[in-house]
């Protein structure tokens, strides 16, 4: 196999290890090799040689499998409850945890740009590889093969409790904090990994008080994870309630930030209007010049 595909020793060993974890021998080994290959290892090559395209397909296949399982397992749940289960189960944190437990961290083929960096972005890489593996199984052996893998590795984590988790943690946190007149804000505190595989770290603030942090492949996901962690630990941050002095300070800071945001919007609109006026002025001058030249 390695000669036919011109695999390096590392690729051949990791491909074999991946097949053992997945419990499937691939008739098209290039599929699983791509599924476990980080984009940093394919610089200068077609995108098909890393997991990027496969994760796109895998996301849809995985969603279909999870949605179908939830639909049949929980016959009394409404659409909202089923959606919350699906969102919780296919979240980045859930998939990366499962992939790590399976041992995928040891089979990912990284490029030299990732060497010595402590595998920056490993969290997102594990999630991506899991989705790509689902797609590889689907393409190699059909939906049944993909479903068998998901049912063995991910579905055991499914529970009715997930139906009660907030579908939108940011909205749930805002609703909770606004009981005390506070609007939470989010700040990007760290960006990890190379440009092609960014991982973002965001933190929630109540006024100037920093709350939980979250990590994600996008800023939105990082903020959502931060909100979810904050909801789970409100007692740790506020002892079950917010002291009046701290509450007033948080309100004041939230008001200041809203006013600052409104000021920035106003300034941006003023600059845009000024730019449009200048453009129209230039157009009139050019039109006048064309007429004079004619």
pLDDT of residue 6: 79
Percent of residues, the chain, with pLDDT higher than 70: 84
Scanning the structure block, which residue is given the tokens 């709350």?
A: 211
Active site residue 232: no
Looking up tokens 């399976």 gives 102
Active-site position among 69, 114, 131, 197: 131
Q: Do the beta carbons of residue 108 and residue 38 sit within 8 Å?
A: yes
95 contacts: CB under 8 Å, gap ≥ 6: 126, 127, 130, 131, 154
Domain regions of the chain by residue span: 2-164, 169-245
pLDDT at residue 53 greater than cutoff 70:
yes
pLDDT (tens digit per residue) in 186-207? 999 988 777 766 788 899 998 8
Q: Which of 42-56, 98-112, 216-230 is the most confident on average?
A: 98-112
11-25, 209-223, 254-268: least confidently modelled range: 254-268
Tracing tokens 């437990």 back to the chain, one arrives at 101
Q: Identify the pLDDT of residue 61.
A: 97
- Average pLDDT estimate for 34-57: 87
Categorize the per-residue pLDDT at 181 as very low, low, confident or very high, splitting at 50, 70 and 90. Answer: confident
Q: Among residues 52, 55, 59, 114, which one is catalytic?
A: 59
* Helix (H) and strand (E) counts in the chain: 12, 3
pLDDT band at 240 (very low <50, low <70, confident <90, very high): very low
With CA atoms as reference, report the closest residue to 10 among 41, 54, 53, 43.
41
Is 50 exceeded by the pLDDT of residue 56?
yes
pLDDT of residue 40: 85
Predicted pLDDT of residue 281: 86
Mean pLDDT of 276-283: 85
Superfamily of domain 2-164: Ribonuclease III domain (1.10.1520.10)
| pLDDT at 160 exceeding the cut of 90 | yes
Q: Which CATH class is domain 169-245?
A: alpha beta
Res 245: pLDDT: 54
- What pLDDT shows up at residue 252? 64
Quote the Cα angle for 261-266-270, to 5°: 150
Look up residue 201 and give its two tokens.
């770290």
pLDDT at 241 over 50: no
pLDDT in tens, 101-152: 999 999 999 887 654 334 446 777 898 999 999 999 999 999 999 999 999 9
Spatial distance between the Cα atoms of 67 and 279, rounded to a whole number of angstroms: 52
- Quick: pLDDT tens for 161-176: 888 866 678 877 887 8
- In the chain, the percentage of residues whose pLDDT exceeds 90 is 37
Active site residue 180: no
């Amino acid at each position: 196999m390695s000669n036919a595909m011109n695999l390096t020793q590392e690729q051949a060993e990791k491909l074999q290890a991946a097949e053992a974890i997945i419990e499937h021998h691939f008739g098209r080994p290039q599929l699983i090799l791509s599924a476990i290959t980080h984009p940093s290892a394919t610089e200068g090559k077609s995108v098909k040689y890393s997991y990027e395209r496969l994760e796109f397909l895998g996301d849809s296949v995985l969603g279909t499998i999870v949605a179908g399982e939830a639909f049949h397992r929980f016959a009394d749940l409404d659409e909202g409850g089923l959606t919350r289960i699906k969102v919780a189960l296919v979240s980045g944190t859930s998939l990366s945890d499962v992939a790590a437990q399976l041992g995928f961290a040891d089979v990912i083929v990284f490029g030299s740009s990732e060497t010595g960096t402590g595998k920056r972005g490993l969290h997102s890489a594990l999630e991506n590889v899991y989705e790509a593996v689902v797609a590889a199984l689907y393409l190699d052996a059909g939906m049944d093969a993909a479903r068998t893998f998901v049912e063995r590795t991910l579905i055991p984590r499914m529970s009715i409790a997930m139906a009660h988790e907030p579908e939108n943690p940011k909205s749930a946190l805002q609703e909770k904090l606004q009981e005390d007149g506070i609007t939470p804000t989010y700040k990007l505190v760290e960006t990890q990994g190379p440009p092609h595989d960014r991982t973002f770290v965001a933190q929630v603030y109540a006024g100037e008080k920093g709350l939980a942090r979250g990590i994600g492949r996008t800023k939105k996901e990082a903020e959502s994870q931060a909100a979810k962690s904050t909801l789970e630990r409100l007692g740790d941050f506020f002892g079950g309630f917010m002291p009046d002095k701290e509450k007033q300070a948080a309100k004041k800071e939230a008001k200041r930030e809203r006013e600052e945001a409104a000021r920035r919007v106003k300034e941006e609109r003023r600059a845009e209007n000024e730019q449009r006026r200048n453009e129209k002025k230039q157009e009139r001058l050019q039109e006048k010049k064309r007429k004079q030249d004619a």
